[in-house]
Amino acid sequence: MNFQEKVNNRIQVDFNELIEENLVMLSNTDYKSDYNGNDIMMTEGMRVKIYEYNDYGDEEELLLAEGIVELTTYKEGWASNCKWNCRIDKNGIKIETKKRKSD
């Protein structure tokens, strides 16, 4: 399976924005685009697939997870500016890496 197949219909997040061990910031607004450009309306309890892609030059990294959309309960601090979060399910975050071939 290639990269595009793995992120198809997934919403991009930044796993550096983990609020809790299994809670990541998802969206500041009621809509977030998936990898294909489809606007997804956030709703409480909605199941979503999320990803993060990193390019480190000689290596590519893909982080994948699934979870449930939650309205934020954070009213203060750095996480308070996010309206919607994703509670990552029991399967956690899967990390896939691929070394680039050198010329």
Among residues of the chain, what percentage have pLDDT more than 90?
77
Per-residue confidence at 7, pLDDT binned at 50, 70, 90? confident
Q: Is the pLDDT assigned to residue 1 strictly greater than 70?
A: no
User: How many angstroms separate the CA atoms of 8 and 15, rounded?
Assistant: 18
Give the pTM: 0.90
Closest among 103, 42, 95 to 68, alpha carbons compared:
42
